[in-house]
Amino acid sequence: MIDIDGSYLEGGGQILRTSVALSCVTGKPVRVFSIRANRPQPGLKAQHLQSIKAAAKLCNAKVSGLFLGSEKIEFVPGEIQGGSLSINVGTAGSIGLVLQTLMIPAIHAKKPVELHITGGTDVSWSPSVGFIQHVKLPLLEKMGYSGRLALEKRGYYPKGGGRIAMVIEPGRLREINLTEQGKPECVHGISHASQNLKKASVAERQAKAARDIVFKRFELSPDIEKQYCDTLCAGSGMDLWIKTSNTVMGSTSLGKPGKRAELVGREAAEFLVKQFDSGACVDEHIGDQIIPYMALAGKSCITVPEITGHIKTNIWVTERFLPVKFEIEKIRACYAIRCRSL
């Protein structure tokens, strides 16, 4: 059994998510202790609980320590079967983080995996469903990943109630080499808000603020879709992404009470510009999420704007499960991350 210290480096839920996902894929049992030890409220939260339960169903695993607040679990995987799973994360628990756990083993299933998940689609400290749809999946498709993700209902913090459906086809990952950024071709975005914010033109104001910054930097007029959604509570946000001849990079910004719509749009645009201007091929959020996929492909290289704690953590966990070695090299204003088989 592989022992994983959940307090290592950034010590958050990502250690748990990656450990469980790679346990499913490799068939290696794992014990994760000191779960989220570096967080104000240590132990399993609802989204961690539901992620592990769903992963266990996916591969007929035996699990112990599965309760809210638990700081240690043991996960003994079986064979990844596939099929349909329905998951209710509860209130605004992050759908994006649940998908982080399940998307990795799903491609290794015997048959297609169909996911129906209820929870938060656009919540803090997690990838939005829009980011996964328009940035993560297109990049994974370059590696041979086949997944279709549909947003059925948007869910904001604190009430959630969002819904997605996703189908992932079995397949085999191939290596990726993203070191040349390529020429900017287009910028797209979705500026979204709850229906009760329509009178205040929140989606339009977010979009205009982002559009002004994007046009000034790239001389491209971004295509930003404005959406007002039926939701259980007020909320807003923006997903923004740039496509080049070789890659796609993205950013997300969320509204909150007292935060002006213009600031939401500016944040999304400024972060996107900053990531692109580093010369990197993927943004820092994809940088950590793609690490396990690179390892499962066996050999790959990407460039990222910076080496975050999440990237270091995912490299550490991934090297515990798979016979690979990651190497990091500073290249001008960004960093190359190379993965090779041992």
Active site residue 310: yes
Q: Among the options 108, 134, 285, 310, which is catalytic? A: 310
In three state form, how does the secondary structure of the chain look? CEEEECCCCCCCHHHHHHHHHHHHHHCCCEEEECCCCCCCCCCCCHHHHHHHHHHHHHHCCEEECCCCCCCEEEEECCCCCCEEEEEECCCCCEHHHHHHHHHHHHCCCCCCEEEEEEEECECCCCCCHHHHHHHHHHHHHCCCCCEEEEEEECCECCCECEEEEEEECCCCCCCCEECCCCCEEEEEEEEEEEHHHCCCCHHHHHHHHHHHHHHHHHCCCCEEEEEEECCCCCCEEEEEEEEECCCEEEEEEECCCCCCHHHHHHHHHHHHHHHHHCCCCCCHHHHHHCHHHHHHHCCEEEEECCCCHHHHHHHHHHHHHCCEEEEEEEECCEEEEEEEEC
Quickly count: other Cβ atoms within 10 Å of residue 242's Cβ.
26
**Closest C-alpha among 146, 106, 155 to residue 128:** 155
**What is the Cα–Cα distance from 33 to 299, expressed in whole angstroms?**
30
Give the bridge partners for 57, in sequence order. Answer: none
Amino acid of residue 100: Q
Residues with catalytic roles: 310
